[in-house]
Amino acid sequence: MLVPALLNAVTQYVVWTATFGFLPILAKELGATDVLQSRMVSTQVLLTVLGSLFATIVVKRIGAGRLSTLGFIFLTIGIGAAAFGSSLLMLFVSQFCIGAAYGINNPVLMGMSIQDVEENERSTAMGLHQSVYGFGMFGGSWLSGVLANVLDIRLMFTVTTFVCLVMSLLVARMYRNG
């Protein structure tokens, strides 16, 4: 129950750090208008919806663990595109991948957190899951702000890319059988 919640905290950390935090700042530095910044966020939200739909369709075929691994791969590519991309197109790629990852990971990890819990304890398990991933929203954004202030935005994204890469490898190893 706790492992999927911690994995979702990492997902939330990346989503809130990137999409709702520092990607708009980076886009502005690359010359994006306010309208273009809004389109970037809308891209992420649209891909979140499509990622959730995709997850619903394929989770039983490939397994929740493999699907979550795919989500973390998308998350790593997305944050890496922000860290190393030097154009607005790369930031759109970043939002595309992060949105797909969020759409996949959020429902799949929530489901994984309650799948082995007795029916009468599921609301408590879901509350715990949401509390843990809520820390990822707040704590991740705070930590990213500190890192961006001390290092700079690109290095903060690089550190976050490394975190996602490590998590992708761990998730793949933990759930290699589905």
Domain ranges, ordered by start, for the chain: 2-174
**Distance between CA atoms of residues 7 and 68, nearest Å:** 9
Is the whole model's pTM more than 0.75, yes or no?
yes
In our burial notation (b when 16+ CB lie closer than 10 A, e otherwise), range 46-78 reads ebbeebbebbeeebeeebbbbbbbbbbbbbbbb
CB 117 within 8 Å of CB 9: no
CA 42, 48, 139: angle at the middle one, nearest 5?
Answer: 90
Report the chain's mean pLDDT, rounded to a whole number: 91
Angle between helix 64-84 and helix 34-62 axes, rounded to 10 deg: 160
List the CATH code of the domain at 2-174. Answer: 1.20.1250.20
pLDDT digits (tens, 9 = 90+) for 18-76: 988 899 999 999 999 999 999 999 999 999 999 999 999 999 999 999 999 999 999 99
pLDDT given for residue 177 in this prediction: 60
pLDDT digits (tens, 9 = 90+) for 92-108: 999 999 999 999 999 99
18-30 burial, b if ≥16 CB within 10 A, otherwise e? Answer: bbebbbbebbeee
Q: What percent of the chain has pLDDT over 90?
A: 69
Confidence band, pLDDT 50/70/90 cuts, at residue 84: very high
**pLDDT, tens digit (0-9, with 9 covering 90-100), for 1-22:** 778 888 999 999 999 999 888 9
